[in-house]
Amino acid sequence: MTVLSTRHLTKTFGKFTALDEVNIEVNKGEVYGFIGPNGAGKSTTIRILLGVLKATAGEAKIFGMDAWKNAVEIHKRIAYVPGDVNLWPNLTGGEVIDLFVKLRGSHHKSRREELIEKFDFDPTKKCRTYSKGNRQKVALIAAFSSDADLYILDEPTSGLDPLMERVFQESVVDLKREGKSVLLSSHILSEVEKLCDRVGIIRQGQMIETGTLKELRHLTRTNLLVETKQPIVSLRDLNGVHDVKETEKQYSFQVDSEELDGVIKHISQYGIVKLESAPPALEDLFMRHYESGDGGAS
Amino acid sequence: MSNHLYNKTGILSRFLLRQDRIRIPVWLLSLFVFTFLIAESFTSLYPAEQDRQALAETMLNPAMTAMVGPGYGLENYTFGAMMAHQMLLFTAVTVGIMNILLLARHTRAAEEDGRIEMVRSLPVGRLSNLLAAIAVLFGTNVLLALGIGFGLYVLGIDSMSLNGSLLYGAALGAIGFFFTGVTALFAQLSESSRGAIGLSFTVLGVSYLIRAIGDVSNETLSWFSPLGWILGAEVYVNNYWQPVFITAAASIVLVAFALYLHSIRDTGLGFLPSKPGRTFASPFLQSPFGLAFRLLRTAIISWAVGMVLIGVSYGSVFGDLESFFNEIDVMEDLIGPVTGVSLTEQFAAKLMSVISMISTIPALMVILKLKSEEKKARTEHVLARAVSRTRLLASYLFIALFVGFVMISMAAGSLGLTAVTVMDDGLSFGTFYSAAIVYLPAIWVMTGIAVLLVGFAPNASGLTWLYLGYSFIVVYLGGLFQFKDWVGNLSPFAHIPQLPVEEMDLMKVSILTIITIVLLAAGFIGYNRRDIHG
Ligand SMILES: Nc1ncnc2c1ncn2[C@@H]1O[C@H](COP(=O)(O)OP(=O)(O)OP(=O)(O)O)[C@@H](O)[C@H]1O
Ligand SMILES: [Mg+2]
C-alpha cells in the first residue's frame, strides 16, 4: 500500500527549477532513503509534502490525500524532523516538546520520559543555550514520542554524536518493527545502508535512481587486487573491467558485479598468487552518481 | 596596539556599510527632504510677521509645550524659531529611532543569528564588530548633522543663520549618537535583539515624557532628559552650543561603557544568566494561540506599562491646561474655531488621535511577529503539525485585536483618571475614554493592512510602518501645514470622528470596519495560498 507518492512533482522559484518531475513512492512499513548532493532538492520536496511550499505542477499525496489541500488532516498522522532546528530562545526544551506533541493531537507522556532518558536530554534548559545536537534532540523526541503513521526526517542526525546516532537508529528500527513508514533524507550513507529498504537518488532536481539496496548493489563494482605468476593479457579489454592500475606484478581494478564470474575465470589462467577483494560499497555508487554530469547544483 | 581588540575594524565597517548601502541613504534622504520641505513650507504658509505671531499665540499653552517642547523666542517668532520649536523635537525622536534600529541590527541581532560567531572566528578583534557598527553610525550622524546644517543654511531663509543651522544639525547628530550609545549598551545587557531594541525605545519614550512633564511644570526636570538637553540649545534664538557638547560627551561615555562590557562578556550571552525553566509546558502554552501569546508576553506587558505612563503624563498636563485657559479667557475667542467647544476638549481630541496611533504600534508588532517567525524557520514547526494556516493567522490576529484594545484602553483610562483628578471641573472620565476608543476601527484597518501584506507580500510587510508614519505626519502636523484634504484622507485615522469636538459618525466608523473585514479576508486567502519560506 502506498503511503506517500509524488507524481511529476515540479517546483520553480522564479526562473530556477528546483524540482523537475520528481516521482517518489513510499510503501507502508518501508524506510525510504532520500539522498542526493547539497542543493539537489531534498528539503524542497519534503517541504512540499508538508504543505509548506506549493507545488508548481504535479501532485504530492500522503495517505491518498493532497499534501497541500489536506495538510491538517495529514499532519495528524505524521511526524516531522527538520535538519535545521530553529527553536524559540526563551522556551525550554521540555516546553517545546510538549507543544509539538500537543499541536499534533495525541500524546504519550510515558514515551516522552523514556525518550528523554534514552537521548540523555535535559528538558529544563532554555532553547537558546542548547547545542545543535541538543536542538535536534528536541525535534527527534517530539517526533518519536508521537504515535504517527509516517515519519518524515530531513537530515535528522547531522548534529548527533555517534552514541546518539545509534539511539536514533534503534528508534527507527523500532518504528519499522511496528510497521510505520519513514522517509529519511540523509548524507550519512552508512545510516542509509543500515536502515533503508529502498533508496531514491536525486540530483539537480531530478530523480536519477530508485530501487532496493539489493538492486542498487547490482549496479556497483567490486574492487579487486590481484597478483599473478604471468602478466595478464588484455585485462583492459575484458567486459566490465574498469580503472586498471598496474604495479609490477600487481593489478588493482574494479569489476561490475554481474561480470565478476567471467573476469575471475579469465585471470585464473595466469596463476593467481594473491587475490583481495573489497565488497561493493554503496558509497562508490553514490559518489559516481553525485559526481557525474556537469558539476553540482547551486 | 591592542590588535586583539581592534583588528580589522576598518574592513568590517566597510562591510557593514555595504549591507546598509540602501538603508542608510534612505533614512538620511528622508530626513533631509522632510526637514528642507518643512522649512520651505513655513515661508509660504506664514509669510507675514502677523501670521507667525498669531501662530505663536496658539502655541503658548501647556498642551503644546508638552507635545512639541518649550517655545523660545515666541515674542519674535521668526522662521528659525518656528523651525526649532515645531520640528526639532519631532525630528530628534525620529533620528533616535533610526539609530536604535540601525545599531541593533548589526550588534545583538547579528549575534542572535550566529553571524557574529562567524566573524569572530576570523582574525578580527574582540571589539571590532561593535566598534565598526558604532563607527558607521557615528559617520551617519556626522553626515546628518552637516547635511541638515548646511542644507538649512543654503535654503537662505531669513533668520536661519549659519551658526543656528549648524547647531540645528549638530543637535540632531548628537542626539542620534546618544541613542547609538544607549542601544550599544543595551545590546550588551540584553540577550535578544528585541530586548535591546525594546529597552532603547523605552529610554527614548521616557526621555520624551520626562521632558514633557518638566517643560510644563518644572524646568529642572527637563534637564534629566537628553531630549531636554538639545531643546535647551535654543536653536536659532540664543544658539547655545554647550547642551550639544554635553549630549555628545554623554554619548561617548555610553559608548565607552558598552565597549567595556562587550570586552568582558561571552559572545551570544548577556549579563543575566539563564535559569533552568519548566520541564513541562503549561496547559496554556499547548496551542498556536498560547505559543504566540507566550512569545509576545513580555512585549505586551512592557507596552501596557508604557501606555499607562503616557496616559498619566499627559493626564497630569490637564490641570495646568485648565488653569491656564481660565486665566486668559480671551484666548478662547482667539483660536477656538469650533464654537461651544472648549480648548481643553480640542486638546483631548487631538491627543487621542496621537495615542491611538501609538496603540497601533504593538498591534502591528503582533502581526509582523508572524512574519519574523517565518523568516527564522519556526512557522514550519507549527504548520508541519495539525495546525491550519487559518488557525495560525487567526491566533495572531486575535492577539493583535486584543492588544490594540487593551493598549488604547490603558492609555485613555489612565489619562482620563489622572485628568479628572487634577482638573477642578472639567471633562468626565467617559468623555476621555470614548474619545479614544472611537479610534478602534482605524487601528483595525491598520491591522488589516498588516494581515494583507503578511498574506500576500511578506517581504513588503514593513510598509505598514511607513503607512503608520505617514498617518502620524498628516494627522499630527496636518493643521500646521494646512495639507490638502485628500492628503489627510489617505489615512484611516483622519476619518474617525474627533470626539468630543465632533459628533459621532456611525457611517464612517462602519465603513472602516467593513474595509477591515475585506482586508482581513484577502489576507487570509493570500496566507493560505502562498509558500512559507524558511
Ligand atoms: N525560496 C527559494 N528561492 C529560491 N531558490 C530556492 C529556494 N529554496 C530552495 N531553493 C533552491 O532550490 C534548490 C534545492 O534546495 P533544497 O534545500 O531542496 O536542497 P537539499 O537537497 O535539501 O540540499 P541539502 O542537502 O544541502 O540540504 C537549491 O538550489 C536552493 O538554492
Ligand atoms: Mg536540505
Check whether residue B193 and residue B305 sit in a common domain.
no
Alpha-carbon B362 to chain mean position: 11
ipTM value, please give it.
Answer: 0.80
Confidence of residue B339 (pLDDT cuts 50, 70, 90): low
Predicted local distance difference test score (pLDDT) of residue B330 = 47
Q: Which domain holds residue B117?
A: 1-41+87-274
Q: Is the distance from the beta carbon of residue A61 to the nearest atom of ligand 1 less than 6 Å?
A: no
Q: Which ligand is nearest to the CA of A40?
A: 1
Q: Which residue has the CA at smallest separation from atom 25 of ligand 1? A: A38
Chain A residues interacting with chain B (CB cutoff of 8 angstroms): 47, 50-54, 71-73, 75-76, 80, 82, 84, 86-92, 94-100, 102-105, 123-126, 128-129, 139
Predicted local distance difference test score (pLDDT) of residue A296 = 39
- Chain B hits for A123, CB-CB cut-off 8 Å, are 279
- Calculate the dihedral angle through the C-alpha atoms of B292, B296, B297, B302, rounding to the nearest 10 degrees: -160
User: What chain B residue is nearest to A122 in terms of C-alpha separation?
Assistant: B279
Check whether residue B498 and residue B398 sit in a common domain.
yes
Here the cell at position B381 is 514547526
Predicted local distance difference test score (pLDDT) of residue A268 = 87
Instruction: Tell whether B430 is covered by a domain.
Output: yes
Q: Following DSSP, what letter does each residue of A28-49 receive, concatenated?
A: TT-EEEEE-STTSSHHHHHHHH
Check whether residue B208 and residue B344 sit in a common domain.
no
Cβ proximity of B531 and A53 under 8 Å: yes
Instruction: Tell whether B122 is covered by a domain.
Output: yes
Q: Average pLDDT for residues B492-517, to the nearest whole number?
A: 93
Using the predicted structure, report yes or no on whether residue A88 has a pLDDT greater than 70.
Answer: yes
Angstrom distance (rounded) from CA B132 to CA B456 = 37
Predicted local distance difference test score (pLDDT) of residue A233 = 81
Check whether residue B316 and residue B445 sit in a common domain.
yes
Instruction: Tell whether B442 is covered by a domain.
Output: yes
Lowest-confidence pick of A157-171, B114-128, B136-150: B114-128
Q: Which residue has the CA at smallest separation from atom 29 of ligand 1? A: A39
Q: Is the distance from the beta carbon of residue A200 to the nearest atom of ligand 1 less than 6 Å?
A: no
Here the cell at position B453 is 501584506
Instruction: Write down which residue in B254, B274, B294 finishes a domain.
Output: B274
- Calculate the dihedral angle through the C-alpha atoms of B35, B39, B42, B47, rounding to the nearest 10 degrees: -170
For residue A155, the ligand 1 atom closest to its alpha carbon is: 27
- Residue ranges of B 281-320 with Cβ closer than 8 A to chain A: 281-282, 285-288, 291, 294-295
Q: Cis (ω within 30 of 0) for the bond into B500?
A: yes
For residue A202, the ligand 1 atom closest to its alpha carbon is: 21
Enclosing H/E stretch for B300: helix B288-327
Q: Average pLDDT for residues B209-219, to the nearest whole number?
A: 89
Angstrom distance (rounded) from CA B276 to CA B290 = 21
Q: Is the distance from the beta carbon of residue A16 to the nearest atom of ligand 1 less than 6 Å?
A: yes
Check whether residue B469 and residue B363 sit in a common domain.
yes
Exposure string for B433-456, b = 16+ CB within 10 A, e = fewer: bbbbbbbbbbbbbbbbbbbbbbbb
How confident is the prediction for chain A on average, in pLDDT? 88
Helix (H, G, I), strand (E, B) or coil at A211: strand
Instruction: Tell whether B68 is covered by a domain.
Output: no
User: What chain A residue is nearest to B530 in terms of C-alpha separation?
Assistant: A54
Cβ proximity of B444 and B516 under 8 Å: yes
Backbone angles phi, psi at A177, to 5 degrees: -65, -35
Cβ proximity of B43 and B79 under 8 Å: yes
Check whether residue B299 and residue B246 sit in a common domain.
no
Instruction: Write down which residue in B274, B302, B322 finishes a domain.
Output: B274
Q: Please tell me which of the candidates B274, B381, B388 has its beta carbon nearest to residue A100.
A: B381
Check whether residue B301 and residue B418 sit in a common domain.
yes
Angstrom distance (rounded) from CA B355 to CA B357 = 5
Check whether residue B125 and residue B185 sit in a common domain.
yes
Angstrom distance (rounded) from CA B82 to CA B299 = 37
Confidence of residue A199 (pLDDT cuts 50, 70, 90): very high
Instruction: Tell whether B183 is covered by a domain.
Output: yes
Using the predicted structure, report yes or no on whether residue A183 has a pLDDT greater than 90.
Answer: yes
One-letter amino acid of A228: T
Q: Give the torsion sign (CA, B374, B378, B384, B389).
A: negative
- Residue ranges of B 135-154 with Cβ closer than 8 A to chain A: none
Instruction: Tell whether B51 is covered by a domain.
Output: no
> What are the pLDDT digits (tens) for B46-75?
888 888 888 888 788 787 888 888 989 888
Cβ proximity of A45 and A120 under 8 Å: no
For residue B385, report the distance from its CA to the centre of ligand 1, in Å.
22
Q: Average pLDDT for residues A253-268, to the nearest whole number?
A: 85
Using the predicted structure, report yes or no on whether residue A295 has a pLDDT greater than 70.
Answer: no
Count CB atoms within 10 A of the CB of residue B213: 18
Predicted local distance difference test score (pLDDT) of residue B202 = 92
Q: Following DSSP, what letter does each residue of B45-114 receive, concatenated?
A: HS-SHHHHHHHHHHH-SHHHHHHH---SSGGG--HHHHHHHHHHHHHHHHHHHHHHHHHHHHTHHHHHTT
Count CB atoms within 10 A of the CB of residue B409: 18
Instruction: Tell whether B337 is covered by a domain.
Output: yes
What pTM was computed for the model?
0.84
User: B184 CA to chain A: closest CA distance, Å?
Assistant: 21
Check whether residue B307 and residue B447 sit in a common domain.
yes
> What are the pLDDT digits (tens) for B474-488?
887 777 777 888 888
Exposure string for B199-209, b = 16+ CB within 10 A, e = fewer: bbbbbbbbbbb
Check whether residue B268 and residue B176 sit in a common domain.
yes
Number of domains in chain B: 2
> What are the pLDDT digits (tens) for B176-211?
999 999 999 999 998 888 889 999 999 999 999 999
User: What chain A residue is nearest to B384 in terms of C-alpha separation?
Assistant: A50
Check whether residue B299 and residue B441 sit in a common domain.
yes
Residue of A16, A54, A155 to mutate, ligand 1, most atoms within 8 A of C-beta: A16
Is the CB of residue B456 less than 8 Å away from at least one CB of chain A?
A: no
Q: Average pLDDT for residues A258-286, to the nearest whole number?
A: 82
Check whether residue B286 and residue B270 sit in a common domain.
no
Q: Average pLDDT for residues B503-523, to the nearest whole number?
A: 96
Beta carbons of A75 and B291 less than 8 Å apart: no
Helix (H, G, I), strand (E, B) or coil at A207: strand
Instruction: Write down which residue in B274, B303, B333 finishes a domain.
Output: B274
Predicted local distance difference test score (pLDDT) of residue B194 = 83
Angstrom distance (rounded) from CA A110 to CA B56 = 75
Higher pLDDT, A197 or A238: A197
Q: Is the distance from the beta carbon of residue A36 to the nearest atom of ligand 1 less than 6 Å?
A: yes
Q: Which ligand is nearest to the CA of A37?
A: 1
User: Which of B117, B385, B528 is most worth mutating to test chain A (most A CB atoms within 10 A of its CB)?
Assistant: B385
Confidence of residue B338 (pLDDT cuts 50, 70, 90): low
Instruction: Tell whether B380 is covered by a domain.
Output: yes
